[in-house]
Amino acid sequence: MVAGRRRVVITGMGCITPLGVRVEQLWKNLIAGASGVGLTTVFDASEFPTKISAEVRGWSIADEGQDEQAWRFCGRHTRFAAGAALQAMADAGLPKGLPSDPTRLGIYLGSGEGQQDFESFTDMMMAAIEGETLDVAKFTRLGLETLHPLSEVEQEPNMPAGHLAGLFDAQGPNLNCLTACAASSQAIGEAAEIVRRGEADVMLSGGTHSMIHPFGVTGFNLLTALSTRNDEPTRASRPFDNDRDGFVLGEGAAMVVLEDLEHALKRGAKIHGELLGYGSTADAYRITDTHPEGRGAASCIRMALADAGLGLHDIHYINAHGTSTSVNDRVETLAIKNVFGEHAYKIPVSSTKSMMGHLIAAAGATELIVCLLAIRDGLLPPTINYETPDPDCDLDYVANKVRAARCDHALSNSFGFGGQNISLIVGRYRG
């Protein structure tokens, strides 16, 4: 920890994921090496090259005590965000926000664009087509007659943050960042900075996303980024394995409550851990490719270590970005070795995306919660489906089985399209 600045602790956690819709359920499945990947059911993916995904199944906003009708116009990602936030705030002992001064409670999310209503648009398009010609005027008229006014508004990336502010009367800073796969980690890092600066006492932060829809899958298939191991869904996500062929698209939300330590102690809050370090850099290279030498990732990790005031030997576990794509896994491995040198071979590294797929804007927040649980229980979740070593990926990836190990500090990496790199370090709380 760095002397002379406000300390930021985590007092609440919540999640809605393909492997569990409660934090403890997620953790139980992760340490068991379970997989949340299966055939896509959210839409008909039978004609797509990728027919598999990691969906949130069997959950409704009503499970969180909400009126489902009141959320009927909200996107899937907004409902996920509300569910995870309600859990996190209840866990923090703040189910109704900060009644003493709501301007001291803020929201900072990493949230992607909302899911379009493809069925309605497809029906309107077909109704407006005569032969091979689209009647644009008819299509427009059908849209005005058919779509609800909130349909467009609810697609905006900042809508989940707006809804959460209303849920908890959070009248402080209300922000959203959309930096692809790094979004929720960046949101948490920036939210912690707001608390450190004294601009809020409590920040609800994390991420939410669902890209399991025709447009999302089409885009990633065109980029050849998704696994096409359709006949073996549970074996499709295989980070660092030589036979990996792309990532598995997931969905969900994860939220944490970040709080000024003195504020938390004054109200007797339970403390899950401390947010110690935050690093943020850009590759400044290519939009869809990481820098081949991992320069942005390496400098990001170094920045987080410096921010935390920790040395190379202080990191006991790394939750890798580990997407199961050829380039990303190799470059992340290289970046870790560039930072930690020979000591890199002694640090356990795992990718929980092997079990729950890639939650895109929600991935980093989910993985930060995993780090906190690893510290709490002294258990390191595995990288499943690690069967054939890749010579370029030669670290200790906690292959296939959970491992017991003392963990006081954990590093979580998130790297996004566009070249965004975020590293977060959490540690065991020490008074």
Q: Determine whether 163 is an active site residue.
A: no
Structure tokens at 273: 């851990």
Helices 159-168, 76-91: inter-axial angle, 10-degree rounding: 40
- Tokens 């963990």: give the residue: 407
- Tokens 């890209």: give the residue: 211
Structure tokens at 353: 């995306």
In whole angstroms, give the CA distance from residue 274 to residue 264. 12
> Which residue in the list 177, 181, 371, 393 is annotated as catalytic?
181
Q: Determine whether 181 is an active site residue.
A: yes
**Burial (Cβ within 10 Å: 0-12, 13-18, ≥19) of residue 6:** middle
In whole angstroms, give the CA distance from residue 253 to residue 138. 38
Across the chain, how many H-helices and E-strands are there? 13, 16
Classify strands 273-282 and 403-404 as parallel, antiparallel or unpaired. unpaired
- The helix/strand/coil state of 416 is strand
One DSSP character per residue, 243-305 reads T---B-BBEEEEEEEEEEHHHHHHTT----EEEEEEEEEE--S-SSS--TT-HHHHHHHHHHH
Q: Determine whether 300 is an active site residue.
A: no
> Which residue in the list 163, 209, 316, 321 is annotated as catalytic?
321
> Which residue in the list 291, 358, 371, 409 is annotated as catalytic?
358
- Separation of first and last alpha carbons in the chain: 11
Q: What are phi and psi of 124, to 5 degrees?
A: -65, -40
Catalytic residue numbers, as ranges = 181, 321, 358
